[in-house]
Amino acid sequence: MPETEEVVSAWQRIAAWLRDHAPASAEVLRPGATDEEIATLTDRLGFEIPEALAAWLRVNNGSTAKDVRKPLTGGGVALLPHRDSAIFPDDMRFLGCREIAEQHANYLHIAQGIGDDEYWKPQWIPIAEKGDGPYGIILSADTSSSSLPLLKFREGDYPGLFVSSLTEFLRPLADLLETGQAPGTVMEYERFSVADGRIDWSY
């Protein structure tokens, strides 16, 4: 099965599980991204996003439906992530088109400011992130590579390899939610509970 189909299939299983077992968490899923939103993201990144990522965003455009944007005195906006947004392990939220573009620009700006090209590369696309600091998952869309690996990053460290593809992130997560286990995968030791309709990864 092509990766685009694998990604969509795995994500639909995850979203269905959330609707059935953690409805408060399911409520954070935005409707699918429109053609205009995908085009705007492409323009802001400066390159075409991978087909598998575009297909995922077209199902749900992030888990940020309950997040709040608060105008700051003197200009700018503060993003206040809702606790329900953290639907992924390590309390990470699924970034939609807008958040991807904003965070991509932010990290490139930091890299330029500190003069370190290894801190953030233009072809790195942030797809998941904690709400309280630089910690998350990147899709590496380097056109010189035949694969699209995911990297993990945290403040103070350079990103490192996490899994080989979006499929290898989402499919084990779907297995874990449905069966409580995902042996031999990146989700093997993750554990969760559900309280007040919300998935909790601090279990």
Rounded CA-CA distance 203/192 in Å is 5
| pLDDT tens per residue across span 119-139 | 889 999 999 999 887 899 999
Domain with 57 in it: 3-200
Rounded CA-CA distance 65/30 in Å is 5
Rounded CA-CA distance 18/59 in Å is 14
Yes or no: say if 152 and 89 are a contact pair by the CB < 8 Å rule.
Answer: no
| pLDDT tens per residue across span 76-119 | 677 788 999 999 999 999 999 999 999 999 999 988 998 888 88
**Tokens 């942030």 belong to which residue?**
126
Taking 70 as the threshold, does the pLDDT of residue 24 lie above it? yes
Question: Alpha helices, DSSP H only, in the chain?
Answer: 3-21, 23-26, 35-45, 51-59, 97-114, 167-179
Rounded CA-CA distance 193/170 in Å is 18
- pTM, to two decimals: 0.93
What would the DSSP string read from start to end of 36-60? Answer: HHHHHHHHHHTSPPPHHHHHHHHH-
Q: What does the mean pLDDT of the chain come to?
A: 92
Q: Domains in the chain: how many in total?
A: 1
Phi and psi dihedrals of 17, rounded to 5? -60, -45
In this prediction, residues 157-166 reach a mean pLDDT of 93
Among 32, 37, 90, smallest CA distance to 63 is for 32
Taking 60 as the threshold, does the pLDDT of residue 144 lie above it? no
CATH number of the domain enclosing 185: 3.40.1580.10
